[in-house]
Copies of this chain bind each other. A is one copy, B any other.
């Protein structure tokens, strides 16, 4: 049912993405993709008493909408793969507490949309189950509290810093169904080039993105020109520039390339530094922008390469550098 060549799993019976949805917040409602979200909730508290609970509310909303679009109920989902940026991944745990479903908790930092989609596709594509869901989210205010300083502190942001997206994305993967299809998945290796500036995550993640992309091309025999578009997760301005420089040194140029962190906001007008970031960044762009274009056939083949920085505030204070990882999913309009 699947063939592993090198680091890539190629599906013989490609799983179908039968439902997908994303719900964003106020800042996202002011960005260039605002119209493409399934729902915008400008109250970033979602009526909850704290941002952490609000993040779960964004997730719940995305799950409901994805199930609706797939025309199924939660009982039709065999496995839910989910994770987020909160300590102990509690946004996902408290979402899934209210859902009666088999749950595998993940931590892939901002790469979680691709990690969860890879595992869900692997379970469906290898015949283990019929349907699985991939879910992730991030929330600007919860992430600032977790990783940086309390919002009330009003810390100055550096130009390389990125803005954590407030959004959740949910994807239903099914054994039967139409386009988009998941053709293959490539889980990444951790790479650490010694970046210690936690306000420059893009630079920390770029080497891992380059590595995964190069491995995929080696495994598949495909070239950048075989794809309508290649998307990375949240490298931002600095990281996406670095990625292209690294790839150029390897003789690879990406003619149709964008970073989700550069698409979700109007970087200068919205004053978001080097761009968007967070699990919700690539999740939102995948569900709002990429999947609809593949579903409609406007794009035939895309690579979705979500990137994650795997440090914590504790390891930062202990002087550690920032390890990065990137997972890749080939999504196609044809089986």
Contacts and interface: CB of A to CB of B under 8 A. Distances in A.
Interface in A40-90: 49-50, 52-53, 78-79, 83, 85-90
Contact of A128 (B126, B192, B325): B126
Interface stretch (A24-32, A93-101, A221-229, A280-288): A93-101
Interface stretch (A15-23, A158-166, A253-261, A314-322): A314-322
A312 interface: yes
Count of chain copies: 2
Interface residues of A, number: 58
A232 interface: no
Contacts of A123: 122, 126
Contacts of A2: 127-128
Contacts of A293: none
A196 interface: no
Contacts of A102: 7, 187-189
A97 to B, nearest CB: 4
A50 to B, nearest CB: 6
A314 B90 CA distance: 9
B87 A88 contact: yes
